[in-house]
Amino acid sequence: MNQSQELVGALQTIPWFQELAPALFEKIAAISTLAAYEAGQELFREGDRESNLYIVLEGRVAIEMYIPGQGRVRIYTAEMLDVVGWSSVTPIVRQRTASARAVLPSLLVKIDTIKLNQLCQEDHDLGYVVMKRMANVIASRLLTTRLQMLDMFAHPGDKEAKNV
Amino acid sequence: MSEIPLTIGTTVALPKSEFDGLLNGLRQLGYETIGPQIKDEAVIYDSITSLADLPRGYTSEQDAGKYRLVYAGHNNYFDVTPGAQSWKKYFFPPRSEMAAFRRDPENPRRWLVEEPKAKYPLYALIGVRPCELAALQIQDRVFLREDLKDPIYRARRQGAFIVAVNCLHPGGTCFCASMETGPDAKTGYDLCMTELDDDFLVQIGSEAGRMALATQEWHPAAAFLLNQAKSGLEKARQNMGRSIANFRELPEALLRDMENPRYDQIAKRCMSCANCTLVCPTCFCWDTREVNELNGQRASRERVWDSCFNLEYSYVFGGNSRPLVRSRYRQWITHKLGSWWKQFDTAGCVGCGRCISWCPAAIDFTVEAAELRKEVKP
Amino acid sequence: MTTRTMELSAAIIPNKPMQPFWAVIDEIQSEAPSVSTFWLRFLDPGLQAGFRFQPGQFNMLLVPGVGESAISISSSAEDNKRVGHTIRFVGNVTTAISRLKVGDVLGVRGPFGTSWPIEKHVGQDIMIAAGGIGLPPLRTVIYHIINHRSDYGRVVVLYGARTPQDLQFTREYKEWEKAGIEVVVTVDRADDKWEGPVGVVPLLFYRLRMDPRKTVIFSCGPEIMLRFVVFEALARRISSDRIYISMERNMKCGQGFCGHCQMGPYFVCKDGPVFTYAQLEPYFNVEDI
């Protein structure tokens, strides 16, 4: 199987690709590639202007942020069918706000977002589908982030001691 | 006394002048006779030895946030509607020891359970109003369950002798008729009295009641007296100070709207002082207190009255499950008029009106119940 | 509401409900910062041999002079040599317990409460979703499943904690996996030594495929986590009477006498702590109930 057949096959395992009309599917397939990463290999770093959208097919990719004095803090891991690097699709964000690194050997679909954004501009139907999808991804991340922020497993610590 | 044998259910007349004989008889049997008396300008419950100890001639003016004892000069001993105290303090004392432990003299890392030494007195409660009797029976469901019986409650309750008194002159905050607990007592008494001009009509409710009365100077009750009692009770039923409509519909009505804005309105007035729960004859919540001897040789566990209005009552890991007054008042009223049914198959309120009289913010339970059941239009 | 029958081998005297039975601390296992498992053995060997509890039930542990604390039993219901209690040290009583040593004695009353109805769901797929200190009461179910593995279909344990250091029972995960249980562990945040997922338990849930007709959820953890687990489960069309959650409230008597643990009409100590979502539904989303 050549690379493009392999790619098409991989894309067809992704639910939201399955929902695309064939013409739209082909447009995206044309700007996508398959990328394999070894454990520990970086996809991109905080501050990069790298512009790709990744979808995890196998493995695990960690999203990390660097805190001076604490090192890299892992704040999220993308598993199979998760999206990484959605910020390059959104209009405002100019550079990566976090780093991405493969934790396990991983296989990802990599979509060139400069070309994707152009396609969306030219074809608003495609644009609508892509943006709808990205909105879902961001919503889900926001909820997860909020739950993490609530720190629900924290000890109340030095609060007034009670009979518990 | 007469040669006519008494049976349970019979009503006879006992002249007021002979009542002390009944009290003496009970005391000779070992009962501590308790009845209403005046102290600090209110009616309280304490030991009595004679009818003369009772607040004859008094009545009370009660309204939301108001209680005044007034000398009206009438002939009656039992005509004052209850004050802040209820009979529950005799069976569910405000403070009692539940368990005690001593250090094992042979191994200081170990403790031994101390056997309880408390001997419980025999109480004869004189002048229990129908609402209070209903409250006692509700507390029986709480403390004497099929699977578990509270030993302190049971020891005091099982020997108690109850002389109920029907209400001919309900008070300004009374609503027992709405709650179907009065103005006459239904069951659960040893003797039930209705006070008329010179006599008490006494109905016998149990063997113990029959035996206590049998040796007293009673005479058969004439139709005239029975009719007087009957019409007096009917008049009392019509003259309640307050009312709650259709109390059986309340559980669903209250649950339907737990975010009713009325709760915010109440919260502006309620000080969460817990008075209502202290005076309520059915409230049963309690807390534990650890008591230690200074030398570390004895530790005991006390049970003390608690209230859902206390902030610490709803402490949970990391915070408090009812931090606002609004939610604590809601807990109280939805429990009393709603959840109680699911828990104990009865309403929790008996219509005694104490919570209305003794609320320093003059919050009227019956008014709030009526407001909260109204459907709020968006 | 389920009724419990009191067995004579329990550490409860029906007409002296507040009297404890003494148990000696046999072993203390540190599980995570501020969390340890205390293994207790009743001083009365007859009581110890006969003591029976159901997975999900709890005991009231007493430190004389300090007070009592409601602690879930975390050991196997089939172990009759000793009873394990995994305790997080947060208040007066648990801090006092944390200072005790092997050989010291605690008062025990129990077991109390409703249990995870594992035997009712033989043949089904079991999803266990636990967060933080919610794992210990579910560990009793995991042990039951391991001892009766062929009685159940797919079994998944989803567990979340704050950081990798806060994960409990880590040395046991391999054994659970060997018994055919999928174990997926996530943390809120980690450093780069952690190779596992980083996220929240409801998210792990979201990623799983499950057949709603065959699946039953058992969940225990902070109430906010339960809220979202329930949300995800309902979104997967799992019916509310197949979603079981364990609630927590202030407990003093453990038997429905003192009123503290009420949540709506329920006494969490007696009608719970394990409830179906169907039971809790009218009350669960009322704030400050």
Neighbours of A131 (CB within 10 A): 15
Task: Note whether residue B296 is domain-resident.
Answer: no
Q: Are residues B156 and B282 in the same domain?
A: no
Instruction: Give C202's contacts in chain A (Cβ within 8 Å).
Output: 147
What is the percentage of chain B residues whose pLDDT exceeds 70? Answer: 98
**Partners of B42 in the β-ladder:** B39
- Give the burial string for C43-65 (b: 16+ CB within 10 Å, else e): eeeebbeebebbbbbbbbbbbbb
Chain-chain contact of B287 with C252 (C-beta, under 8 angstroms): yes
Token duo for residue C144: 């039951």
Task: Note whether residue B301 is domain-resident.
Answer: no
Chain-chain contact of A162 with B315 (C-beta, under 8 angstroms): yes
C184-202 average pLDDT score: 92
The pLDDT of residue C8 is 57
Count of residues in chain B: 378
Which domain covers residue B59, as residue numbers?
A: 11-97+110-238
Q: Are C83 and C105 in contact (CB under 8 A)?
A: no
**Strand ranges for chain A from DSSP E:** 32-37, 42-44, 52-58, 61-67, 71-78, 83-84, 99-102, 106-112
For helices A113-122 and A22-30, give the axis angle rounded to 10 degrees: 150
> Is pLDDT of B153 > 90?
yes
For residue C109, give the nearest of C56, C51, C55, C65 by alpha carbon: C51
Token duo for residue C174: 């391999």
**Partners of B300 in the β-ladder:** B100, B291
Helix or strand run (H / E) with residue C67: strand C67-72
Helix or strand run (H / E) with residue C125: strand C125-131
For residue C59, give the nearest of C76, C77, C72 by alpha carbon: C72
In this complex, which chains have at least 3 CB pairs below 8 Å with chain C?
A: A, B
> Is pLDDT of A158 > 50?
no
> What is the DSSP code (8-state) at residue C242?
G
Chain C touched by B344 (CB under 8 Å): no
Q: Round to whole Å and give the CA distance between B326 and B263.
A: 6
Count of residues in chain C: 289
Q: Round to whole Å and give the CA distance between C58 and C220.
A: 13
CA distance C56 to chain B (A): 19
> Is pLDDT of C4 > 50?
no
Chain B touched by C262 (CB under 8 Å): yes
Chain centroid, CA C87 distance in Å? 11
Residues 6+ apart with CB under 8 A from B254: B333, B334, B337, B338, B372, B373
Q: Are residues B30 and B152 in the same domain?
A: yes
Q: Which residues 1-60 of B are in CB contact (within 8 Å) with C? A: none
For residue A54, give the nearest of A142, A113, A119 by alpha carbon: A113
CA distance A157 to chain B (A): 9
Q: Are C132 and A152 in contact (CB under 8 A)?
A: yes
Query: In chain A, helix, strand, coil percent, each to 5?
Result: 35, 25, 35
- Give the burial string for B146-163 (b: 16+ CB within 10 Å, else e): eebbbbbbbbbbeebbbb
Omega within 30 of 0 (cis) for the link into C282? no
Q: Round to whole Å and give the CA distance between B178 and B370.
A: 13
Instruction: State the number of CA atoms in the 13 A half-sphere of C279 facing the CB.
Output: 21
Q: Round to whole Å and give the CA distance between B222 and B217.
A: 15
Q: Are residues B263 and B204 in the same domain?
A: no
With cut-offs at 50, 70 and 90, classify the pLDDT of residue C5: very low
Omega within 30 of 0 (cis) for the link into C111? yes
CB pairs under 8 A between A and C: 89
- Domain C21-112's class? mainly beta
Token duo for residue A84: 């990484």
Using CB atoms, pick whichever of B286, B299, B331 lies closest to residue C65.
Answer: B299
Instruction: Give A162's contacts in chain B (Cβ within 8 Å).
Output: 312, 315
Q: Round to whole Å and give the CA distance between C54 and C78.
A: 10
Under DSSP, is residue A69 helix (H, G, I), strand (E, B) or coil?
coil
Instruction: Give B285's contacts in chain C (Cβ within 8 Å).
Output: 258-260
In this complex, which chains have at least 3 CB pairs below 8 Å with chain B?
A: A, C
Domain ranges of chain C: 21-112, 118-246
With cut-offs at 50, 70 and 90, classify the pLDDT of residue A160: very low
With cut-offs at 50, 70 and 90, classify the pLDDT of residue C2: very low
Domain C118-246 bears CATH identifier 3.40.50.300: no
Instruction: Give B312's contacts in chain A (Cβ within 8 Å).
Output: 162
Neighbours of B116 (CB within 10 A): 15
Chain-chain contact of B296 with C65 (C-beta, under 8 angstroms): yes
Chain A touched by B71 (CB under 8 Å): no
Under DSSP, is residue B70 helix (H, G, I), strand (E, B) or coil?
strand
Under DSSP, is residue C132 helix (H, G, I), strand (E, B) or coil?
helix
Neighbours of C77 (CB within 10 A): 22
Interface residue of B317, B320, B340, B344 to substitute, partner C, most C CBs within 10 Å = B317
For residue A74, give the nearest of A86, A66, A82 by alpha carbon: A66
pLDDT tens for C139-168 read: 999 999 999 999 999 999 999 999 999 999
With cut-offs at 50, 70 and 90, classify the pLDDT of residue B2: low
Query: In chain C, helix, strand, coil percent, each to 5?
Result: 25, 30, 45
pLDDT tens for C110-135 read: 999 999 999 999 999 999 999 999 99
The pLDDT of residue A105 is 97
Q: Are residues B281 and B232 in the same domain?
A: no
- Determine if residue C3 is left, alpha or beta; phi over 0 gives left, psi from -120 to 50 gives alpha, anything else beta: beta
Q: Are residues B179 and B76 in the same domain?
A: yes
Chain-chain contact of A156 with B317 (C-beta, under 8 angstroms): yes
The pLDDT of residue B3 is 66
Q: Is B73 exposed, middle or buried (0-12, 13-18, 19+ CB in 10 A)?
A: exposed
> What is the DSSP code (8-state) at residue C241?
G
Number of domain units in chain B? 2
Interface predicted TM-score of the whole assembly (ipTM), two decimals: 0.93
Q: Are residues B56 and B114 in the same domain?
A: yes
Q: How far is CA A45 from CA A51, A58, A75, B27, C192, in A?
A: 11, 21, 14, 91, 15
CA distance C122 to chain A (A): 31
Count of residues in chain A: 164
Which residue is listed with tokens 């995890």? A56
Chain-chain contact of B259 with C286 (C-beta, under 8 angstroms): yes
**Partners of B34 in the β-ladder:** B47, B125
Nearest-5° angle of CA A98, CA A99, CA A104? 135
Omega within 30 of 0 (cis) for the link into C273? yes
Q: Are residues B263 and B353 in the same domain?
A: yes
Chain-chain contact of C257 with B143 (C-beta, under 8 angstroms): yes
Q: Are residues B19 and B164 in the same domain?
A: yes
B341-360 average pLDDT score: 97
Q: Are residues B232 and B321 in the same domain?
A: no
pLDDT tens for B21-50 read: 999 999 999 999 999 999 999 999 999 999
CA distance A152 to chain B (A): 10
Using CB atoms, pick whichever of C162, C199, C206 lies closest to residue A76.
Answer: C199
Task: Note whether residue B189 is domain-resident.
Answer: yes
A131-140 average pLDDT score: 92
**Partners of A42 in the β-ladder:** A101
The chain C residues in contact with chain A (CB within 8 A) are 34, 67-69, 88, 90-95, 131-133, 160-162, 166, 188-192, 194-200, 202-203, 206-207, 221-222, 224-225, 228
With cut-offs at 50, 70 and 90, classify the pLDDT of residue C228: very high
Q: Are C146 and C179 in contact (CB under 8 A)?
A: yes
Pick A3-149's CATH classification: 2.60.120.10, 3.30.1700.10, 2.40.50.100, 3.10.350.10. Answer: 2.60.120.10
